[in-house]
Structure 1
Amino acid sequence: MRIITENLTKIFNTRRNQPPIVAVEDLNLDIHPGEVFGLLGPNGAGKTTTVRMLTTLIAPTAGQAFVGPWKVGRDDRQIRQSVGLLTEAPGMYEALSAEKNLTIYARLYNVRDVKGQVEKYLRMLGLWERRADPVGSFSKGMRQKLAIARALLHEPQVLFLDEPTSGLDPEAAKLVRDFIEELESEGRTIVLCTHNLDEAERLCHRVVIFKTRLIAVDTPENLRKRLFGRKVVFHLRQVQPQWVELLRSFPFVEEVSTLENRIIVGLPNPEEQNPVLVRRLVEAGAEIQFVGELRHTLEDVYLRTLQGLGE
């Protein structure tokens, strides 16, 4: 299911004599059906506010948004029936069992096979054996898994996940990530808010970096290329100045630098250009130990992008 925002804006009024707070301003997004899409930004950037608008929990101040064929503010009932939401701090009825909690929410969503759906997701998330235990006795990881089950009971085609692995131990976090990948393989559209940039890089097809206003949106790989280009590292037994000058003589080489016994070369297309450089270096007497590519992480991209704003 496709999600579109057009100049989406949210302004919160404050106390008397205080200026209003612009939480989201002129946000334009086009999230493709079946895509895992990451919302990245510092605290207060507007990520959660955006999710709340798209799930019709709060109304936009200006602009418009569509979830599938439905418009936010006009078709709110249909949108709520079609999306699942995992909030950063999901509340549960702690005195009730896991099974009873999910049963209540399944009935609120008018799920046809309440018992079957509750059992399906309790088993899928490894909670079936604890189904009769009160939620108050659950660990944080178990509660998070139960909250994910709650968000999926009505089989939504769009899922909004706000910090789904926050505070989880590595095993529980991996289970949640694997589950997200399984949902993506079913063709569901998933919007992921996270501060875990390694997680976003592994899961998301595209990400948006924004701070109230949109700064950049693309695949992690394209954002890396845009900010840092591609750099190949030649590991040598030793570096000679003539080899550095040799590499600089090629018209397609963008930049050359050295670090200890390594020569770092900026190239637009390493797959085609590496063999030429390796051959010429060997002919010139260089002893190449191995060749690798300098990889920047999504965290590098994120920090460089925000530094450009003076963050």
Structure 2
Amino acid sequence: MTTAWNKKGIGLNPASQIHYIDHLAVVCILMEIPLLFLEENDLLLGKKYYPGLEAVLNPYSDFSPEYLISHFDVSFMSDLWDRCVMQEKYSALEEQYNKRWRNVHCPHGFSDKGFYLAKCAMEDIALLYGDNMIDQLKDFGVWENLRNYVITGNYRYTYFKKNRDFYDSVFEKEIQSQFAKKQPIILYAPTWLDLENSTTFFDNYHQILGKLPDDYNLIIKLHPRLELDDVVTYYQIMGLYEKKPNVFFLKDYPLVFPLLAHAAMYIGDMSSVGYDFLAFNKPLFFLNKQNRDSESDRGLFLFRCGTVIP
């Protein structure tokens, strides 16, 4: 579908990252463009969980730079794609098709992780959540590298509110039904073992799961990459606790806001889910794995909004 600005756009998730779907699907709905899937399972997730999404399945064999530039004008991606690398790859095709290829970077959430955020300044066009993200880019010394950007706010939250009844129904059927009793929910959403060694899942699981009070339910929203970080420990932890009636491990699940809306409190580390949870004005607890000073460390800015656990 042609967008209002007369460019034919397409959403792309070339590495089939499940946690990107929640971000790309909403952008594509707002822009009235299709989201192209390369895996059928991902396509089914898109169709199931995102009302209004035009989900398209495309085989790997047809997926190439020439296919994209011959059918579209601009891509929307959550993967990092340095504009210099992109221009080098597409320069010959741009001349052949007499058009300039553009790419819009859609961050998969907003967090205080510096290594990833700093790289988005080298994107062709970047979507920015707001002033805090701009301040981060300036603090990292990369703001001047950013050429084109659009300030969007948290469009996923806006989309969730518009479809609240639908998502409440999904939550009741798929999440609430997993617990033996209906009682206050704690959401634990650890990030993965990234370049900053951010995850607390492998270090703190016993403190959270082993000491969970009986009168609370606990959802552990597992980052898709945690399984790859330590396969053995990952499944050992699940094996220890998955049969508890008030514990539910949520694996390969793209939705975020339906969980936040029904959680009484949040426990996290450096995941972007913590920033999303601010919209609900509920208690946040942060695991300070590396004992950094949240009052002076710009990289722990979100921790100032909750209770820090050493």
Higher RCO by CA contacts (8 Å cutoff, separation 6 or greater)? 1
Rg comparison, structure with higher value:
1
Tell me whether the two structures share a fold, i.e. TM-score over 0.5: no
TM-score by length of 2: 0.23
Give the structure with the higher percent helix.
Answer: 2
TM-score by length of 1: 0.23
